[in-house]
Amino acid sequence: MSKGRAKENRPGLLRASLNPWLVRVEDHPERLAFVLHRVTGVIIIAYLLLHIIVTNTPARAGWEAWDQLMEQFGTNIVNQVGEFIVAGSVLFHGMNGIRLLLAEFFGVCIGRPEKPKPPYIPPTYRACQRQLLYLIFAVWPILWVFAGLLIFGVF
């Protein structure tokens, strides 16, 4: 045991919840999903606050000011990249949110409790929430690319 001040029994906010690159995800994709849910949530709330201010423009300065603003946003690559990141965040957060609602709120896709026996794999990890998570990881990049094609004006 180390001398002096005892260490807190937590790994630190950054490692625990905000940085997906610091997470060990071997055999625990739920852990990666948890961190990505937080990271995308922080991105979305930052965007939401800006969005509420920006969408107030026509109420303050009229629709001409709005059109000028949208013209600037539509031609600025930095804004487009920002929108692309927000789109990916919303897509992951939304799909993983549906999985969490099913598992935590409606109590489905989490398996049944059972007597623990080797190799001690919790029923939750063998339940359909895991398949849903794999499906999310598979569908998410496809939808994100589709959103990117829209945002960058490919179609």
Partner 1 sequence: MGASRIQMWQYITAILLIVFLGGHLVERLPWLVGAESYHDTLRSSFVSKQYGSWWSIGLLILAYTALFHGLNGVRGILHEWKPRLGTLWDAIIWAVFIVFALIATYTVAALW
Rule CB under 8 A: which residues touch partner 1?
Answer: 13, 16-18, 38, 41-42, 44-45, 48-49, 52-53, 55-56, 58-59, 63-64, 66-67, 70, 73-74, 90, 94, 97-98, 100-101, 104-105, 150-151, 153, 155
C-alpha 42, offset from chain centre:
8
Let me know how long the chain is: 155
DSSP secondary structure letter of residue 55: T
Closest-CA residue to 114 (of 127, 126, 123): 123
CB closer to partner 1, 12 vs 141: 12
Structure-block tokens of residue 141: 């990049």
Nearer to partner 1, 39 or 127 (CB): 39
d(CA 44, CA 17): 16
Minimal distance in Å, beta carbon 67 to partner 1? Answer: 5
Q: How near is the Cβ of 120 to partner 1 at its closest, in Å? A: 28
